[in-house]
Amino acid sequence: MTLTTRRSVTKAAPARHRPRRKDRAVEALWGYAFIAPVGLGLAVFYLWPVLQTAYFSFTEWGAFGGHTWTGLENYLRLAVDPEMGRALVNTLTYTVLGLLAIPLAIVFAALLNTKGLRGVGVYRTMFFLPVVTMPVAIAMVWRWLYNGDYGLINQVLSLVGIDGPNWIADPATALPALVVVGIWSSVGYNLIIFLAGMQAIPKEYYEAAAIDGAGPVRQFFKVTLPLLSPTAFFVSVVSVIGSLQLFDLVYVMSGSGSSARSNPAFPRLETVVQLFYERAFVTNDRGYAAAIVMALLMLIIALTAFQFRLQRRWVHYG
Amino acid sequence: MRKSARLGAAVFGVVLAVSACSAGGDEPAATAGQEKVTLSYAMWDNNQKPVMEELGKAFTAAHPNITVNVQLTPWEGYWTKLKAAATGGAAPDVFWMNGPNFQLYASNGVIRPLEEEITKDKVDLSVYPKPLIDLYTFDGKHFGLPKDMDTIGVWYNKSLFDAKKVPYPADDWTWSDFNEAAAKLSDPAKGVYGTAAQLTSFQEYQYNTIDQAGGFVISPDGKKSGYDNPQTIEGLRFWTDLIKNKQSPDLKTMTDTFPLQLFEAGKIAMYWGGSWNVSEFAKNDYTKDKVDVAPLPKGQKQATIIHGVANVVSAKTGHPAQAWEFVKFLGSKQAADILGKKGPIPAYNGTQSAWVAAHPEFKLQTFLDAVAYAAPFPVSKNTAAWNEAELTYLTKAWTGEEPVEKAAAELATAMNALLAKE
């Protein structure tokens, strides 16, 4: 950011004012002064805890503080913990399936972007509503929708003679059911971003394409999609990170708190952050919990770096 | 999803921040004197907040220099917050303690032993049920005075019994009487079941039948699991058989709709519940005139789990003398009389008649009579760790995926490993 601004400043006004070395130092100082409040907040509330957590992941940390250095023991335990493996598989499956929200959001955004469509604001609000709703409230409502005996979904299915399952208590359906809620609650956010991305595409491209004889479908694939790829890249990075940190939705939907474990589908629902929560705050195994989140942090960094590498293949910047 | 990420980070951050900020908060210890002191008193039950405040005022009336600040933290966040505060040395002066958490706090030196004070002030501990005194004893030292108590009974739906012409439970009924009634009351086609073999509340379910079968959950020295004991397994099989025979909903159904909700919708005829359910059932439009309570059925022997909350003092309180005065007052007959009119059953023997009289529509004496054969709540230093294992392993027996012996044996192995680490 700072690089580009500086370059554009010097480019724009080279003749009028040649900044001296001292001026630039003062300017930089002001810059740091302005970001200091945010930087300080980040350092105190994010960076410091992360460093502390990293340290604690090499210790055995009691319920009330007081820790002893155990070296790599937590990580060795983590490597062979079947529960961690299971939670990792669930989390990654959820993340991959959750990516379906992106094409879905693009389609909806394209529909909303149709010229002359009436009531765009109403649709936009409708799609965006789940985003501003508390995840816990969403989870509670969906829990009832999915209820095997009294849920709305199974009531509707019974009208056509289908005996629906206990959606979130059945190991076969629990994770897909969770993914549906995840997509439903995130599609609105993605849609707004894609809509903005589409509206930023210059009209001239479409006019040129139309003159060349491209119909609406061809225009969508040849103009809209490629020019939307930077937006799609941003959305996919953000949603992968979000999915990997999934907690509140599954915490409430699987049976709220300690009873979640008695859900027969729990082995298919448990996420990495949920396991972290239980180790840190329920079973008082905090050093181990710290190792779990450090592993998750590494995974997030690795997957994000991987996405940045991959983007060269498919992202077009105008 | 994004919110969840931030929430997780925020929770963790706050916990760390709390521990960082309050690390230097130790106040110099003050002796009981004439200075004005405010004691913080933490509790988790919103329903009991008014009566706790009333008790605080009654205490201030007798000790004009000490005021009490009642701090409510709802159950969901109570232990997390208390742990963070205690880690930072800023725990409330006096707070509610329960059985499963007690040894963790006592063994880590977070709460103060009250042995000397009890001896010095000649507090008579025999006025409380013995299992409760034992529950709050660690390393031979007493750490708290019991505040209230609860026992378990069978809440039953009279109209479902009438509809199937099944006689109401007798006071001396047995497991086989219970099973017979459950069979007659069940009507799976209508979604009505004799009972619900709830997996998630061991206090109301498994621990009782394990004791009734002559088994045990944890050895008296707290070192060994009892889940591989054949009699303990019989106590578990009592429940898995009910599911197998379709006299209880299956685990999936109970995951979707909790047994309490099913009972309050007339889908369950017999619900094993605590004395704390009284206020709920008295208020609920469906249950208020349809249900009553009977003692737990007898297995090899008669048994019910007894539990109660105790008041304990923080080891780092700046006012240990005043805090003890308050705890002593809360454990007194005067306090129990106030509590009994509004709240749960007071632990002080002989003060419970007001509690029984409050709801003449239920046979509440049942819960008091049960104290005579009550068994202690099984705990150890890190109870939460094996409580989690109980759910992890027994879920497989409850779904029928594994025979109950096998699941219980696996649980015993896991629990023994956890106990060895304590």
Q: What is the pLDDT of residues B129-155, one digit of tens each?
A: 999 999 999 999 999 999 999 999 999
Q: Which residues contact A315 (CB under 8 A, 6 or more apart)?
A: A229, A230, A232, A233
CA distance A64 to B88: 8
The reported pLDDT for the residue numbered A120 is: 83
Q: What is the pLDDT of residues B169-178, one digit of tens each?
A: 999 999 999 9
CA distance A88 to A299: 10
Q: Where does the pLDDT of residue A257 fall: very low under 50, low under 70, confident under 90, or very high at 90 and above?
A: low
Q: Where does the pLDDT of residue B373 fall: very low under 50, low under 70, confident under 90, or very high at 90 and above?
A: very high
CA distance A138 to A143: 8
Q: What is the pLDDT of residues B58-114, one digit of tens each?
A: 999 999 999 999 999 998 889 999 999 999 889 999 999 999 999 999 999 999 999
Residue given tokens 């039953």 in the structure block: B156
Q: What is the pLDDT of residues A43-62, one digit of tens each?
A: 999 999 999 999 999 999 88
SS3 for A224? helix
Classify strands B141-142 and B137-138 as parallel, antiparallel or unpaired.
antiparallel
Q: Do A239 and B191 touch (CB under 8 A)?
A: no
SS3 for A62? coil
CA distance A97 to A103: 12
| Residue B372 exposed, middle or buried by CB count within 10 Å (0-12, 13-18, 19+) | exposed
Q: Which residues contact A306 (CB under 8 A, 6 or more apart)?
A: none
Residue B339 has pLDDT above 80, yes or no: yes
Classify strands B66-72 and B37-43 as parallel, antiparallel or unpaired.
parallel
Give percent of chain B above pLDDT 90.
86
Nearest to B7 among A48, A49, A248 (CB): A248
Q: Do B12 and A49 touch (CB under 8 A)?
A: yes
The reported pLDDT for the residue numbered A5 is: 41
Asked if the domains at B34-150+307-375 and B152-304+382-421 fall in one CATH topology, the answer is yes
Inter-residue contact B326 to B94 (CB < 8 Å) = yes
- Shortest Cα distance, chain B CAs vs residue A221, angstroms: 29
Domain B34-150+307-375 grouped into CATH 3.40.50.1950: no
- Mean pLDDT computed over B44-69: 95
Q: What is the pLDDT of residues A191-243, one digit of tens each?
A: 999 999 999 999 999 999 999 999 888 999 999 999 999 999 999 999 999 99
The reported pLDDT for the residue numbered A76 is: 96
The mean predicted confidence, pLDDT, of chain A is 89
- Shortest Cα distance, chain A CAs vs residue B104, angstroms: 8
Q: Do A242 and B391 touch (CB under 8 A)?
A: no
Classify strands B193-195 and B268-274 as parallel, antiparallel or unpaired.
parallel
- Mean pLDDT computed over B366-387: 95
* Chain A with chain B: Cβ pairs closer than 8 A: 134
Q: What is the DSSP string of B182-219?
A: HHHH-BGGGTBEEE---SS-TTTTHHHHHHHTT--SB-
Nearest to B83 among A53, A63, A149 (CB): A63
Q: Do A246 and B4 touch (CB under 8 A)?
A: yes
Residue B1 has pLDDT above 70, yes or no: no
- Mean pLDDT computed over B37-46: 95
Is B199 in CB contact (< 8 Å) with chain A?
yes
Nearest in space to A192 (alpha carbons), one of A245, A223, A238, A138: A238
Inter-residue contact B160 to B291 (CB < 8 Å) = no
CA distance A78 to A299: 14
Residue B28 has pLDDT above 70, yes or no: no
Residue A65: closest C-alpha in chain B: B87
Residue A266: closest C-alpha in chain B: B392
Q: Where does the pLDDT of residue A113 fall: very low under 50, low under 70, confident under 90, or very high at 90 and above?
A: confident
Residue B196 has pLDDT above 70, yes or no: yes
CA distance A185 to A19: 50
Mutate to test the interface with A, among B255, B257, B260, B268 (most CBs of A within 10 A): B255
Inter-residue contact B11 to B41 (CB < 8 Å) = no
The reported pLDDT for the residue numbered B34 is: 66
Residue B403 has pLDDT above 80, yes or no: yes
Q: Where does the pLDDT of residue A266 fall: very low under 50, low under 70, confident under 90, or very high at 90 and above?
A: very high
Domains in chain B: boundaries: 34-150+307-375, 152-304+382-421
Residue B23 has pLDDT above 50, yes or no: no
| Residue A318 exposed, middle or buried by CB count within 10 Å (0-12, 13-18, 19+) | exposed
Higher pLDDT, B34 or B214: B214
Helix boundaries (H) for chain A:
2-12, 21-42, 48-56, 73-80, 82-98, 101-112, 120-132, 135-145, 152-159, 174-199, 203-211, 216-219, 225-244, 248-253, 266-269, 272-277, 286-314
The reported pLDDT for the residue numbered B254 is: 94
CA distance B414 to A201: 60
Q: Phi and psi for B216 in degrees, rounded to 5?
A: -150, 155
CA distance A190 to A105: 6
Is B382 in CB contact (< 8 Å) with chain A?
yes
The reported pLDDT for the residue numbered A318 is: 63
Mutate to test the interface with B, among A261, A269, A271, A277 (most CBs of B within 10 A): A261
Inter-residue contact B293 to B187 (CB < 8 Å) = no
Nearest to A64 among B1, B76, B87 (CB): B87
- Mean pLDDT computed over B307-312: 97
Chain A partners of B200 at a C-beta cutoff of 8 Å? 258-259, 262
* Identity of the amino acid at B143: F
SS3 for B83? helix
Residue B338 has pLDDT above 50, yes or no: yes
Chain A partners of B387 at a C-beta cutoff of 8 Å? 258
Residue given tokens 């999803």 in the structure block: B1
B15-25 burial, b for 16+ CB within 10 Å, e for fewer?
A: bbbbbeebeee
Domains in chain A: boundaries: 72-314
Classify strands B148-149 and B345-346 as parallel, antiparallel or unpaired.
antiparallel
Residue A316 has pLDDT above 90, yes or no: no
The reported pLDDT for the residue numbered A167 is: 95
Angle made by CA atoms B135, B415, A259, in degrees to the nearest 5: 80
Nearest in space to A315 (alpha carbons), one of A202, A258, A246, A232: A232
- Shortest Cα distance, chain A CAs vs residue B103, angstroms: 12
The reported pLDDT for the residue numbered A14 is: 47
The reported pLDDT for the residue numbered B33 is: 53
B407: which 2 tokens? Answer: 């699941």
Residue A170 has pLDDT above 90, yes or no: yes
Inter-residue contact B225 to B415 (CB < 8 Å) = yes
Give percent of chain B above pLDDT 70.
92
Q: Do A169 and B255 touch (CB under 8 A)?
A: yes
Q: Which residues contact A297 (CB under 8 A, 6 or more apart)?
A: A50
Residue A143 has pLDDT above 50, yes or no: yes
Mutate to test the interface with B, among A145, A281, A294 (most CBs of B within 10 A): A281
CA distance B321 to B37: 11
Q: Do A169 and B251 touch (CB under 8 A)?
A: yes
- Mean pLDDT computed over A280-291: 92
Pick the CATH number of B152-304+382-421 from 3.30.70.60, 3.40.190.10, 2.60.40.10, 3.30.420.40: 3.40.190.10
B229: which 2 tokens? Answer: 């004991």
- Mean pLDDT computed over A162-170: 94
Q: Which residues contact B223 (CB under 8 A, 6 or more apart)?
A: B419
Chain B partners of A280 at a C-beta cutoff of 8 Å? 12
Mutate to test the interface with B, among A64, A143, A146 (most CBs of B within 10 A): A64
Inter-residue contact A228 to A220 (CB < 8 Å) = no
Q: Do B384 and A53 touch (CB under 8 A)?
A: no
CA distance A168 to A263: 8
The reported pLDDT for the residue numbered B15 is: 43
Residue B396: closest C-alpha in chain A: A264
The reported pLDDT for the residue numbered B25 is: 36
CA distance A300 to A297: 5
The reported pLDDT for the residue numbered B207 is: 98
Nearest to B395 among A143, A243, A264 (CB): A264
Q: Phi and psi for B195 in degrees, rounded to 5?
A: -150, 180
Residue A131 has pLDDT above 60, yes or no: yes
Residue A73 has pLDDT above 70, yes or no: yes
Q: Do B191 and A149 touch (CB under 8 A)?
A: yes
Give percent of chain A above pLDDT 90.
72
Nearest in space to A43 (alpha carbons), one of B22, B5, B2, B20: B20
Q: What is the pLDDT of residues B247-301, one digit of tens each?
A: 999 999 999 999 999 999 999 999 999 999 998 899 999 999 999 999 999 999 9
Considering the segment(s) A72-314 as one domain, its CATH architecture is Orthogonal Bundle (1.10)
Q: Which residues contact B67 (CB under 8 A, 6 or more apart)?
A: B36, B37, B38, B39, B56, B60
The reported pLDDT for the residue numbered B188 is: 85
The reported pLDDT for the residue numbered B31 is: 45
Q: What's chain B's length in residues?
A: 422
The reported pLDDT for the residue numbered A19 is: 61
CA of residue B125 relative to chain centroid, distance: 21
